[in-house]
Amino acid sequence: MENSIEKPRGLIGRISTLLNNEVCSDVVFHVRHNGQRGTFYAHSAILIAAGKGFPDLAKQTSQAKVIKVLEFSSHIVEMMLR
């Protein structure tokens, strides 16, 4: 029996399934800006590889890292994670 759900192809496709996916995530962004709230799940390895803004994530020892975002809207945080 064939599975009707198409799986992402290639490395980029598989990595994109991790975007805002709570499964195995080790970073949580709690966004609160102008009365708007949002929660986003991420993976420290991807964030560290993406740029200079997250190198300290590797130094944190807690299993789940929580980042509070008060300066940007949920829409901006989602765009950053993409």
**What mean pLDDT value characterizes the chain?**
84
Tens of pLDDT, residues 46-60: 888 887 777 777 777
When pLDDT is averaged across residues 6-30 and rounded to a whole number, the result is 85
H-type helices in the chain, by residue range?
10-16, 44-50, 74-81
**Residue ranges per structural domain of the chain:** 9-81
Residue pLDDT, tens place only, 24-73: 899 999 999 998 899 999 988 888 888 777 777 777 766 678 889 999 99
Q: Which residues contact 72 (CB under 8 A, 6 or more apart)?
A: 31, 33, 80
Q: Which two tokens stand for residue 44?
A: 């420290």
CA 7 vs. chain centroid, Å, equals 20
The CATH class that applies to domain 9-81 reads: alpha beta
